[in-house]
């Protein structure tokens, strides 16, 4: 996922509930969908960060040899400056980029 081109909110903002209700016709269902998507995004971001930081892992556990690695600091700062997963998920949901299905509606249609 390209995090640089994301137009999610940097801080907490108030949402219009009618926008969320228009997506699924149930505000709470839309919030659950956004929450589940935020969990997916958060896990993916964490895996990416851990894989990038694994390159800098040391095999020694000597506290006297702690040193700064500029690349590691820059990677960490980049991930800290990104919007939070819940803001990314809400932006995706409002733009209609989140796929979800409603099994109970699909079953009732037969």
The DSSP annotation for 32-89 comes to HHHHHHHHHHHHHHHHHHHHHHHTT--S---GGG----HHHHHHHHHHHHSPPHHHHH
The pLDDT, as a whole number, for residue 8 is 77
In a domain, 38, yes or no: yes
Q: State the pLDDT at residue 62.
A: 56
User: Is residue 52 in some structural domain?
Assistant: yes
- In our burial notation (b when 16+ CB lie closer than 10 A, e otherwise), range 36-62 reads ebbeebeeebeeebeeeeeeeeeeeee
| Alpha-carbon separation of residue 1 from 39, 48, 63, 81 (angstroms) | 15, 10, 35, 15
Residue 47 lies in a domain: yes
Please report whether residue 3 resides in a domain.
no
Domain around 45: 28-56+67-96
The predicted model gives 1-5 an average pLDDT of: 65
pLDDT of residue 71: 83
pTM across the whole model: 0.77
Report DSSP state, residue 93: H
Judge whether 8 lies within some domain.
no
Q: Does a structural domain hold residue 17?
A: no
Tens-digit pLDDT profile for residues 18-75: 888 888 888 899 999 999 999 999 999 999 999 988 887 766 655 554 566 778 888 8
Angstrom distance (rounded) from CA 96 to CA 102: 15
């Amino acid at each position: 996922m390209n995090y640089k081109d994301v137009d999610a909110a940097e801080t907490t903002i108030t949402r219009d509930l009618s926008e969320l209700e228009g997506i699924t016709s149930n505000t709470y269902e839309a919030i659950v969908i956004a929450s589940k998507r935020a969990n997916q995004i958060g896990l993916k971001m964490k895996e990416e960060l851990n894989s990038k930081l694994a390159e800098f892992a040391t095999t020694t556990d000597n506290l006297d040899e702690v040193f700064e690695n500029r690349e590691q600091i820059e990677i960490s700062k980049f991930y800290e400056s990104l919007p939070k997963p819940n803001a990314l998920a809400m932006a995706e949901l409002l733009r209609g980029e989140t796929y979800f299905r409603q099994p109970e509606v699909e079953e009732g249609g037969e």
